[in-house]
Structure formats: C-alpha cells, structure tokens
C-alpha cells in the first residue's frame, strides 16, 4: 500500500556473522564471511514496494539472505586481498562487499554508529551491495586515497536459481546483468577530517519488466541501495534495463575528541530502457557524533536525513511517487560497550511523510540491540 495503516508491533530476532581470515604470506588475506539471521523489521509492513528496508529500519534487523524468517547459513562475503606494492592493494573475488571499500564514515559504521539502512551510507551510492569483480585501492599519500572497482551483482538475496541477474547466472555472467563501476577520492587534510567524492556508473538489469526495488517474492530488499523500483510508467511492454549515474559527497570531522559532525549528499540519474526516460533523485544527511559519551569507546549519534527526494520522473516509480511530499527521518543511536566484547545499542527513529506522502502520520521506531563481538 502507498499510505500508512496498521498497529504497532514488536519482534525479536537475531543476525550473526562468522568471519574466517586466512593468510598465505602474512600480508595477504582470504576472507570468508558466513551469516545467519531470521529478522524482518516490523517497520517494513508500512513500506511501499521499492521503499522496503529504506526508512527507519535498523540495518541489523534483517535476515541473512533468506526469506520467510528462515535462518539458513549463507556466504555473505568471499574475497582475496593482496598488496601489489606498498601503496596499492588489490581485492578480487566472487562476493566482494562494496562497503568495505567505499563510502566509509567514522560516525556511521553500522556496528558502532548510526544504524539504519538510510543513515549508514549514501542512499544512492551504488546499485549493488556485493558483487563479483575487483577493487583497486591506492594510498597516493597520507592525505589522498583513491579507490576504483568493477563489480557484477552477486548477493545472497538474489539467487540465480530463480533466474535473477547475478554474475553466477550463465544468462548474464559477469558483464551482462547488473554491474557497477565506481571511483572514489578521499582527501584528508588532517587526521580528524575526511572528504570523500565518488562517481558510480551502473547497469541495472530488469526482472519481471521492472528495474530495482522490491519487485516481489522472493526479493526481500530494494536494490538501488535504499532505492526505488521503476516501471515503464504505463507505456507498456516493460523495461529491459537501466543506466544509472550517481555522484556522492561524504565527510566526517572530529572537531574535538568528544564531538564531531558529518554529512552526505548524493544525486542519481537513472535512464530507463527501452523507453529512454530519465528519473532524477537526490538525498542528503547531516549529523552530530559524540565519541566516548558516558564511557570510553561509546558513541552517540544524532542524524537528520532525506533519503529520496524525487526531482524528475515520478510516473516511472513502480510503487507510485507519493503525493508530492518528501520523506525525512530523525534518528538517534547510542553504542555503549559493557565489556570489550559485549555492547548495548539502543536506537530511535522518527519517519516523517513516509513513502513521500505528506498526509501520512509520523512513524516511530525503537530498537535495542545486544551485540557480541569475538
């Protein structure tokens, strides 16, 4: 549904990762990360298609790659990293995690900082989360870092057994389905200040005549990151694929040891094929960070964000583009380490104009996470 109805609900779930690190030379690393989980955030019941897991949803309140609440063990990450020179590192593999290499922010790391799907990264940064391909990272100097990647979509949520456009599907392969090319430059004039500028070009394969978004079972998540699903806007015949170009800016500044600010802005242009129509969307985020608040190692974060402001192409949103309203979120989280290995992380989210309907009531979400790290 496009408008919000329903009653509050409470759920209890788990999500766990087991990371296996292997080194052959002492400088390289073969990483295999397994995951299992059974959560689907109750706030998702209020979401239109394409907004699924896109607003006020704790990132860790998710399944690990299956649907219907099953807790199957899946391969989350699988890649090999090695130094080419002292300044250049190469990462290659069938399931490389995009966010291990791009769009980092000291205040929005999902385990210790801001914790919703929309606040941990730029909402339009990339069309995929994990893929098959290669990442090159070059530490040009102490103040400059450059990273580039090519990844063909390969996530645990989109199985090639169901005909999805993953790199393991022979019908699409590494270059024929959804894929992205990204370049990011990080400038750090001082140790406490970072500016990141990125550009991503994506080819997004259609499924069932639609591109991106939560098209239907068994797809549990939207894939223009926190993005929408697109249709042909009533033209008929369905979509074949789309090209997307995204520019993003990201910064964090630790002004004092106990206080910092951060923010993001992204703009995305998506051209839908074969109808050759464009959709433009922008998003922003601003926030405050309070390291060591109450205890050494703690981090409190408050952030205000606009996850998806539609500039052009409303008619091509498969779920509808709202009634002209713009959704905003106010989020707060507090990472509090009880011990070196155990932390409590309460979080609160307020979602205004949900699904871009300005007559929708405000949604309030509370979340408490017990986090164990060994």
For the chain, the domains span 15-372
According to the model, what pLDDT value does residue 49 have?
Answer: 59
**Contact (Cβ atoms closer than 8 angstroms) between residue 313 and residue 227:** no
Confidence of residue 367 (pLDDT cuts 50, 70, 90): very high
Range of weakest confidence among 203-212, 226-235, 239-248, 265-274: 226-235
Q: Which two tokens stand for residue 48?
A: 């239109």
Residue 217 has pLDDT above 70, yes or no: no
Highest mean pLDDT range out of 37-51, 177-191, 233-247? 177-191
What does the pLDDT look like over 49-93, one tens digit per residue? 566 677 788 888 888 875 555 667 889 999 999 999 999 999 999
pLDDT score of 3 more than 70 = no
Taking only the tens place, the pLDDT of each residue in 305-318 is 998 888 988 888 87
| Mean pLDDT of the region 340-364 | 93
**What residues contact 322, with CB distance under 8 A and at least 6 apart?**
2, 310, 353, 355, 356, 357, 358
The pLDDT value given to residue 8: 67
Q: What is the pLDDT of residue 215?
A: 40
With cut-offs at 50, 70 and 90, classify the pLDDT of residue 258: very high
For the chain, the first-to-last Cα distance in angstroms comes to 42
In the structure, what pLDDT confidence band is assigned to residue 324 with cuts at 50, 70 and 90? confident
Nearest to 228 by CA among 148, 353, 164, 313: 313
Q: Which CATH architecture has domain 15-372?
A: Beta Barrel (2.40)
Residue by residue, DSSP assigns 248-268 as EEEEEEEEETTEEEEEEEEEE
Nearest one of 267, 260, 140 to 197, comparing CA atoms: 267
Q: Is the pLDDT of residue 40 over 90?
A: no
pLDDT tens-digit profile of 92-125? 999 999 999 999 999 999 999 998 988 998 877 7
Average pLDDT, the chain: 86
Least confident of 136-140, 159-163, 191-195, 349-353: 159-163
Higher pLDDT, 161 or 211: 211
More confidently predicted of 72 and 327: 327
Percentage of the residues of the chain whose pLDDT score is greater than 70: 87
Higher pLDDT, 54 or 173: 173
**Integer-rounded Cα radius of gyration of the chain:** 20
């Amino acid at each position: 549904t496009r408008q919000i109805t329903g009653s509050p609900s409470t759920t209890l779930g788990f999500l766990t990762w087991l990371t296996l690190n292997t080194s052959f030379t002492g400088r390289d690393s073969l990483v295999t990360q397994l995951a299992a989980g059974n959560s689907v955030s109750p706030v998702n019941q209020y979401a239109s298609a394409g907004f699924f897991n896109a607003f006020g949803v704790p990132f860790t309140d998710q399944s690990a790659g299956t649907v219907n609440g099953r807790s199957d063990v899946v391969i989350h990450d699988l890649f090999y990293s090695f130094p080419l020179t002292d300044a250049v590192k190469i990462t290659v593999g069938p399931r490389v995690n995009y966010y291990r290499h791009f769009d980092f922010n000291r205040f929005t790391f999902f385990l210790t900082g801001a914790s919703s799907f929309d606040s941990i990264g730029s909402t339009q940064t990339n069309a995929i989360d994990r893929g098959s391909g290669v990442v090159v990272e070059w530490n040009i100097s102490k103040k400059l870092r450059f990273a580039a990647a090519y990844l063909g979509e390969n996530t645990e949520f989109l199985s090639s057994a169901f005909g999805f456009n993953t790199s393991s599907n022979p019908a699409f392969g590494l270059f024929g389905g959804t894929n992205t090319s990204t370049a990011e430059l990080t400038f750090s004039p001082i140790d406490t200040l970072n500016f990141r500028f990125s550009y991503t070009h994506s080819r997004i394969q259609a499924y069932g005549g639609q591109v991106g978004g939560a098209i239907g079972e068994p797809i549990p998540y939207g894939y223009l990151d926190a993005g929408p699903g697109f249709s042909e806007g009533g033209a008929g015949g369905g979509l074949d694929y789309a090209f997307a170009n995204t520019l993003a800016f990201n910064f964090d500044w630790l002004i004092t040891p106990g206080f910092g600010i951060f923010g993001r802005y992204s703009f995305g242009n998506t051209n839908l094929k074969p109808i050759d129509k464009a959709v433009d969307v922008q998003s922003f985020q601003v926030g405050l960070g309070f390291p060591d608040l109450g205890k050494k190692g703690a981090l409190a974060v408050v952030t205000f964000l606009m996850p998806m402001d539609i500039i052009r192409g409303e008619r091509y949103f498969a779920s509808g583009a709202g009634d002209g309203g713009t959704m905003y979120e106010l989020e707060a989280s507090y990472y509090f380490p009880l011990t070196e290995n155990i932390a409590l992380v309460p979080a609160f989210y307020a979602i205004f104009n949900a699904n871009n309907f300005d007559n929708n009531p405000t949604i309030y979400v509370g979340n408490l996470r017990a986090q164990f790290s060994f």
